[in-house]
């Protein structure tokens, strides 16, 4: 006997409808879970890593692991919980790297003769076959195209002494594989360079300001290297102050020019000195002038009208490696291999210089959080203290001068290129919109 319509509807209601409803609910549940999970992980990755640039998957894994001190990365554990990791890219060791450098002295870029070690006869090349390896992660290779995309439409300035210029020239050579800039410098003085990457509307500046604050020789006819200088502790150097409003990323550094004799001024009044013969004047160590220079430089950057979105990076003290004398007393740096962590650590006056900078940097960083200025540490010091092998030594050509050993600057190519690998890594770790137009 055939079932009537009422009975068929009752069977449908009792058996088919509950099953269909259950299947529909399961579909909605899993769809929502997938979407929510993907969104959560993407937002978590974005907020913790902060890279807005598309990155290939193998490199993304390395970048996700590579984080500055105090920053965390996340990975899913086998049980599905969130496991936090940290990686300080500035703590590690130098490991052998058989591949060649990113560029040579024949690359279409400017290498200062004084750092062009291979051109001027350095007999060994082992120093270019080491790479920086952070303890807990991998440092990605420098990607010129990626760097240029990150800084598109921006201006980056290296403010400081000739070591800042050393880094700037390294960066231009590293970028040469992707683009060749136009020299848009406004002077023939090579201490002040301006390179324009037209296709990216990106500019690199080198602004030579070895003391960062106003200074001049007390005796205009005095020795430019040993003569006593006036150092105005509360006035930043106009060389960079007059241009900094147009700069999005400032890499600031300094160190080797603070050991000479100084007269210290505040409010144009003499308040002390270093290595002077003045009577009734407070004597200070060179650390005093060094501290005040960075304090005033950071304060100047914090007081600019355009604050939000500017990125200020401190590249701290770069160690020298003279042995058996100084630069003018028979010293040299003849080593051909890096030190390891046990052989050489930062100590003595170099550690105190480094810590003086960091104390002023931390104070500025705290104030910057209140004002919308990001301060980041490009901490190359610990890595470079282990590289006595990578200075020009006697293989830098000094135009029109007697050749002297240089154990302060760095050969190009060489470990100075690591500074810019770390610079790129730091930029990739910044949050979306780290520099605003």
Residue positions annotated with a catalytic role: 162, 406, 409
Closest by CA to 212, choosing from 361, 322, 423, is 361
C-alpha to C-alpha distances, 262 to 268, 275, 323, nearest whole angstrom: 14, 7, 26
Angstrom distance (rounded) from CA 229 to CA 43: 53
User: What DSSP string describes 145-201?
Assistant: HHHHHHTTT-EEEEEESHHHHHHHHHHHHHHTTT---EE--SSS-TTEEEEEEGGGT
Q: What is the DSSP letter of 95?
A: E
Count the helices and strands in the chain (H runs, E runs).
10, 15
Could you tell me the two tokens for 174?
């590293």
Angstrom distance (rounded) from CA 272 to CA 257: 18
How crowded is residue 298: how many other Cβ atoms within 10 Å of its Cβ? Answer: 24
Residue for token pair 């470990």: 415
Angstrom distance (rounded) from CA 357 to CA 320: 17
Q: HSE-up of 254 (CA within 13 Å, CB side)? A: 27
| Paired residues of 239 in beta bridges | none
Could you tell me the two tokens for 372?
């919308």
Closest by CA to 374, choosing from 251, 262, 285, is 251
Those residues whose C-beta lies under 8 Å from the C-beta of residue 11, and which sit 6 or more positions away, are 3
Could you tell me the two tokens for 41?
């992980």
Tallying the residues shown for the chain, one arrives at 437
Helix (H, G, I), strand (E, B) or coil at 347: coil
Angstrom distance (rounded) from CA 178 to CA 174: 9
Angstrom distance (rounded) from CA 159 to CA 312: 11
């Amino acid at each position: 006997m055939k079932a009537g319509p009422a009975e068929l509807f009752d069977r449908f209601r009792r058996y088919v409808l509950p099953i269909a409803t259950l299947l529909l609910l399961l579909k909605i549940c899993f769809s929502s879970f997938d979407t929510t999970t993907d969104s959560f992980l993407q937002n978590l990755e974005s907020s913790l890593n902060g890279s807005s640039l598309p990155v290939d998957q193998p490199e993304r894994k390395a970048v996700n692991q590579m984080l500055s001190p105090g920053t965390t990365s996340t990975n899913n554990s086998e049980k599905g919980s969130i496991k936090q990791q940290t990686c300080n890219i500035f703590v590690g060791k130098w490991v052998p790297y058989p591949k060649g450098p990113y560029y040579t002295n024949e690359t279409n870029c400017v290498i200062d003769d004084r750092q062009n070690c291979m051109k001027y006869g350095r007999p060994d090349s082992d120093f270019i076959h080491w790479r920086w390896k952070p303890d807990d992660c991998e440092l990605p290779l420098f990607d010129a195209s990626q760097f240029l995309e990150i800084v598109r439409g921006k201006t980056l300035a290296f403010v400081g002494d000739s070591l800042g210029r050393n880094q700037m020239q390294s960066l231009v050579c590293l970028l040469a594989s992707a683009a060749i800039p136009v020299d848009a410098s406004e002077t023939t003085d090579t201490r002040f360079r301006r390179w324009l990457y037209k296709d990216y509307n990106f500019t690199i500046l080198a602004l030579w300001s070895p003391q960062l604050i106003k200074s001049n020789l007390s005796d205009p006819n005095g020795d430019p290297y040993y003569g006593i200088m006036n150092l105005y502790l509360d006035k930043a150097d106009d060389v960079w102050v007059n241009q900094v409003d147009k700069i999005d990323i400032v890499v600031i550094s300094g160190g080797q020019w603070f050991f000479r004799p100084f007269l210290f001024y505040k409010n144009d009044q003499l308040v002390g000195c270093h290595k002077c013969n003045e009577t009734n004047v407070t004597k200070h160590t060179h650390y005093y002038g060094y501290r005040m220079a960075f304090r005033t430089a950071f304060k100047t950057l914090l007081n600019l009208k355009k604050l939000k979105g500017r990125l200020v990076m401190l590249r701290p003290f770069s160690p020298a490696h003279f042995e058996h004398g100084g630069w003018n007393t028979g010293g040299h740096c003849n080593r051909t291999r890096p030190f390891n962590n046990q052989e050489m650590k930062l100590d003595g006056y170099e550690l105190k210089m480094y810590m003086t900078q960091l104390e002023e940097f931390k104070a500025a960083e705290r104030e910057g959080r209140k004002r919308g200025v990001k301060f980041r540490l490009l901490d190359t010091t610990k890595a470079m203290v282990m590289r006595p092998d990578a200075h020009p030594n006697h293989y830098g050509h000094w135009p029109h001068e007697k050749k002297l050993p240089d154990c302060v600057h760095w050969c190009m190519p060489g470990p100075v290129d690591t500074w810019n690998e770390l610079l790129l890594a730091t930029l990739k770790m910044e949050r979306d919109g780290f520099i605003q137009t």
